[in-house]
Amino acid sequence: MGRYFTLRFIGAALLLLAIQINAQEDVDGYTHFGRGSCQDSRGKMYSYLQRIMTFPNAETCGRQECERFGNLESYRGFEFSVAKRCTCLFDADEMPAVPEDSEDPTYVSKTDSAMGSVVAVSGTPGTNCYQFGVSNERILFHQLFYQIICDACLENSTLDLIKTTDLGFL
């Protein structure tokens, strides 16, 4: 009886954790990596452009602001902050030029040293990381996560509930 209760408790805790982590919205065409700044395989941050204005949500940031850079090989994705700031990310020294026009919205930028695909997040609260494109590694991890739950012998009803919960962090 004790083992059954422990497994049910673990299953419920995993479900609550998945729901809490997935509080940030999904954006079509992007992989949500989770909370924190996007990082490359060396743990480095990306160069960025950020328009000096707020955006209503991550969808608007990614699809209407940053995705216009989607044809550039150096475009890696975006970060959306709790302050509703939208930051478009690029490989080191490969940011596009932004016109300095008084009628064009003002931008801030910073050059950093990340290169290549997003593979991790810093874990710092306050921002969410979105990689441009869908990550196959995340899909494989998602499947592995479900298999571990199955192996833990959770009831079918609990497993079905977990499977229907969109785990955006995976």
Domain segments of the chain as ranges: 1-26+136-170, 30-133
Q: Is the pLDDT of residue 83 over 70?
A: yes
Tell me if 91 sits within 8 A of 77, measured CB to CB: no
The structure's pTM equals: 0.66
CA-wise closest residue to 26 among 120, 138, 159: 138
Q: What's the confidence (pLDDT) of residue 158?
A: 52
- Strand 86-90 and strand 38-39: the pairing is unpaired
Q: What's the confidence (pLDDT) of residue 106?
A: 84
Q: Lowest-pLDDT range, 47-61, 97-111, 142-156? A: 142-156
CA torsion 122-128-131-135 (nearest 10°) is 80
> What's the pLDDT tens digit per position in 57-71?
999 999 999 999 999
Q: What's the confidence (pLDDT) of residue 25?
A: 78
